[in-house]
Chain A
Amino acid sequence: MIPLKYNARNLVVRWKTTLMTASGFTLVVAALVVMLAFVEGVQKVCTTSGEPENVIVLAKGNNDEVFSQIDTRLASELENSRGVGRNDAGVPLASREIFLVVHRRLEQEGVFKFLQIRGVQPIAFDVHTQIRIIDGSPLRASQSEVIIGKGVQREHQLNVGDEIEMGRKSWKVAGVFEAGGSAFESEVWADLPELSSQFRREGVYSTMVLRTEGPEAAKELMTQLESSRSISCNPKTEPEYYAKQAEQTQMITSAAWIIAWFMGIGAIFGVMNTMFAAIGQRRKDIAVLRIIGFKAHEILISFLLEAILISIIGGFLGIGFGMSVNGFSRSTAIGAAREVAFAFSVTEGSIIFAACFSLAMGVVGGLLPALSVVRIQPLEALR
């Protein structure tokens, strides 16, 4: 076999061409890693949102709480359904909630961003057990106060003590909470009656969240509600509901894939061009190798390996650049006018996939030029 150092040194000698070609791979692989990190990040938020013990109930025909409307009568029926847990005081673990999305202008950046507001009653903190105050104080009813998720704190540059304009009045930020990295961290929570009156939503809720004893009980409750003749609603376990929301990132993913494929094709042509040029410049080397006894397929493999080496260099750099976004926090729109904060997440699987993608581009791009080696006539090449 032709020693690999022959290829490696040729790449070093033509370092400018090597770098230019490899940078094509770097771009594609970096874009791919970032895209996968985005999808992974959003999915992570959606899959960690919601607790398996909870059943989220929306109005019949609605799949998003933004549009859902549940009246007081239905809310009472749901609250008293079999399987709904109770707290120590015997109060049903059923959280009546309204969910609103408003625009808020960020003064410093001069742009509008979605602000998701959830109106809750005190029982909500027994239902959503992931909520933990990390700064300031808990939410107090009828005090024109709100608590904000840490995603909102970051995206809207808000802190404890700041004022937010919502509806017709100003609300004070009393505390900041975290919720295990879930979508709740992108929300502002306010007192339900206070919020309802501000937005004229009295007597109507967006959702009811019912807490059961465990995941199995939650599924049973869901089946029971679905098959009930007296209650007409759309129940889902919380994890199912948020997983469904994540599916809406599918379009972004598809678009990103199309871009990645086209960029990949560009990189393949780049390496083809480089390898054809390399073979053209090294026809005499090839002729000598053939004359001293190397077989055509051995030389073909050598040049194919050279293309693969370029793809390894480019892929390695691309993965490096792509990994630099790991943990970087942004927000994105999912569902109907909902914005969630997420952190780009580069996983082992994404890295392996990107490395394989880069290698595949190297093989496809290197194969055609390498095959042309077989057609070189040694004697003609030496003239």
Chain B
Amino acid sequence: MSDAIVTVDNCTKTYSRGAERVEVLKGVSLQILRGEFVALIGPSGSGKTTLLNLIAGLDQPTTGRVIVAERDISRMDESQLARWRTTAIGFVFQFYHLIPVLTAYENVELPLLLLNMTAKRRREQVLTVLHLVGLQHRLTHRPGQLSGGEQQRVGIARALVTDPALVVADEPTGDLDGRKKEEILDLLENLQRGLNKTILMVTHDHVAAARAHRLTRISDGLLLEERADTKEEALALAFPDAKIRGND
């Protein structure tokens, strides 16, 4: 059995805009191993969010296959994908996207309502992940009563609560600055190390990218992969104007 949790096999993705056809991905192949923390970087319009969406089961490739946790998700219909996403993928968004009228506890509990689980078991699981992200004292607070960093922690707790095979994070620190950004990156890193979670993170930010084990660069719909032992060079290539600080 392969140790790859994600296999993207020669995928293309083409969109139609009227008569025009735009090829966003031009035959991308990628493997992510179990427990890896991978940063997907690239300029705007390079196809990184499209690739993330294919891996997360939010979109289907035009050609090629996507296998996540040993399931070929490119053959699933929308209804199958919806339930599969609940257990297989945890989503962390740039703007948190918490439900404003629900408390931190209720936001985290939401994915569990789709699973056949007793209320007691649900409660245990929600409290565990909220404790993990350090928000056990904010259970009854609504998103509007939390800081940006705290909201993102709730978002991460919601992503982890179903114990998914893969956590996908789309610019998780994009709306945060300074210390709060570092705290979220520390949290993601600790989760990856402590729980052996596989994390795929899309980012524009060299500070966030520097925390990943491996950088995967995408440009004009094609993948350029650098290994972890050359991460500094990869960072320097990806962010030529930034002052790079490796943390390995």
Contact = CB atoms under 8 A, between A and B. Distances in A.
Interface of A: 1-3, 5-6, 9-10, 13, 284-285, 287-296, 378-379, 382
Contact of A3 (B87, B91, B106, B158): B106
Given A379-B59, A382-B93, A6 B158 contact: no
B75 interface: no
B114 A9 contact: no
B113 A291 contact: no
Contacts of B198: none
Contact of B99 (A285, A296, A379): A285
B85 A292 contact: yes
Contacts, number: 55
A258 to B, nearest CB: 40
A290 B82 contact: yes
A292 B101 contact: no
Contacts of A1: 113
Is the interface on chain B under 10, 10 to 19, 20 to 34, or 35 or more residues?
20 to 34
B141 interface: no
Given A6-B101, A382-B97, A292 B91 contact: yes
B86 A6 contact: no
Interface string B201-240: 0000000000000000000000000000000000000000
B209 to A, nearest CB: 22
Contact of B111 (A10, A287, A293): A293
Query: By CB atoms of chain B within 10 A, which of A2, A288, A292, A294 has the most?
Result: A292
Contact of B86 (A10, A284, A288, A293): A293
Nearest to A291: B91
B110 interface: yes
Interface in B92-118: 93, 97-102, 106, 110-111, 113-114
A289 B82 CA distance: 10
Contacts of A13: 100-101
B58 A293 contact: no
19 contacts: A2-B113, A3-B106, A5-B106, A6-B99, A10-B101, A284-B97, A285-B99, A288-B99, A290-B82, A291-B58, A291-B85, A292-B86, A293-B87, A295-B79, A379-B53, A379-B58, A379-B59, A382-B93, A382-B97
